[in-house]
Chain A
Amino acid sequence: MIRAALNAISLWAIPVLLVGIPLVGMIRKLKVYDVFIEGAKEGFQVALRIIPFLVGILVAIGMFRASGAMDILTNALRPLTTATGFPADLVPLAILRTLSGSGSLAFTTDLVKRFGPDSVLGRTAATMYGSSETTFYVLAVYFGSIGVKRTRHAIPAALTGDLVAAIAAVAVCSWMF
């Protein structure tokens, strides 16, 4: 019931907003098309502005992944995970999730295929992917779009959230499934 309602909202939200917002503008006697064009002009500049930030972050992450450093990091963390009961197969996913959207999607898909889509591990992997964001990409895009270079406590706060979400995914899935 709630699920059906949420799906309907997802399906209809965009067309309704695209028509509904200008409709309110019309009622308020705005020149909606002119105002739209004025705002839309910014689109290109924003995209151009984030390019250097995105190149910087994605190149560093791309090099890190290609070197094979990920496997070393996973192995280094293994004793810690066996001590805490965090599934060792999910450690690379937890790290990769914050670094690379496409990389973590491919990794999750592979885990789901290997362990089965209805296995606890497959579902935990899917939950872990769904409950977080590609933190470094998000930070690069958003801070890059306004030219902020000193991000202060943004990275520690975001990574704490990612860590807690990953642990919560494991805990909730082992409890539910």
Chain B
Amino acid sequence: MLNYIWFGLMAIALIVAAFNGTAGAVTKGAVDSAKTAVEIALGLVGIMALWLGIMRVAEKAGLISLLGRLLRPFGRLLFPEIPPEHPAIGAMILNIAANMLGLSNAATPFGIKAMEELQELNPQKETASNAMVTFMALNTAGIQFIPATMIAVLAASGSKNPTAIISTTILATSCGAVAAVTTAKLLQRFFPYEETPPVDGTPDEATK
């Protein structure tokens, strides 16, 4: 699917550029975006190293699996195929908790750690497992209790009550999260794990 979306976005850009005469802007958009992508990735190095280091300490100290056991009903409901004491559950809980509190730079390393743990349980390394998709649905829904960025924007524009949007944001994001997770659960049987043909025609490393 990503193949079609990726090609589609660029093909549409070219066609629209032909009509609008924006070919120059499209070139600049491509070059600038490539540069931004590397800057974002390299900008993550420090924060990633810090949190992956702390995560390793938490894991070795048994805190990650403790978290999974404490929130067992959550894990069982959303990720029935993952054992509750598995570090993946703890890492996912940390990621979601960090997102809820608006700590986005801690959330990314937790989430990546969670994906790495889920990957250990995933037999086909290039195909997303059901648990990964459910976790991504939860994550892209962007559940947060304090929309700090938007409160700052409203306050900077002279709002009398910038925090008025907290309750509406919590309600809207909850609806989105429930819809995303429900869709993920409903769709998983229509996107069979085993029968998805390899994109490039080569067999998986795991199935060789």
- The interface of chain A, by Cβ under 8 A from chain B, is 3, 6-7, 9-10, 13-14, 17-18, 21-22, 24-25, 27-28, 30, 32, 35-44, 46-48, 50-51, 54-69, 72, 105, 108-109, 112-113, 116-118, 122-123, 126-133, 135, 138-139, 141-143, 145-158, 160-166, 168-169, 172-173, 176-177
Contact = CB atoms under 8 A, between A and B. Distances in A.
Given A36-B54, A44-B49, A165-B175, 10 more contacts: A6-B145, A25-B60, A38-B53, A39-B53, A62-B29, A63-B33, A67-B25, A153-B188, A157-B183, A165-B177
A162 B140 CA distance: 8
Interface of B: 1-2, 5-6, 9-10, 12-14, 16-17, 20, 22, 25-26, 28-30, 32-34, 36-38, 40-42, 44-46, 48-50, 52-63, 98, 101-103, 106, 108-109, 111-112, 115-116, 118-119, 125-128, 132-133, 136-137, 139-142, 144-150, 153-155, 157-169, 171-173, 175-181, 183-184, 187-188, 190-191, 193, 196, 198-199
B146 A10 contact: yes
Contacts, number: 377
A25 B57 contact: yes
A38 B58 CA distance: 13
Secondary structure of the A contact surface, majority rule:
helix
Given A51-B37, A63-B30, A162-B140, A148 B127 contact: yes
A64 B12 contact: yes
B71 to A, nearest CB: 17
Contacts of B52: 39-40, 42-43, 46
A131 B176 contact: yes
Name which of B133, B181, B190 has the most chain A CB atoms within 10 A of its CB: B133
A150 B1 CA distance: 8
B61 A135 contact: no
B34 A6 contact: no
B128 A150 contact: yes
A59 B33 CA distance: 5
A14 B103 contact: yes
B157 A113 contact: yes
A109 B173 CA distance: 19
Given A3-B166, A24-B61, A142-B111, A161 B140 contact: yes
A13 B184 CA distance: 31
B180 A157 contact: yes
A36 B51 CA distance: 9
A50 B52 CA distance: 15
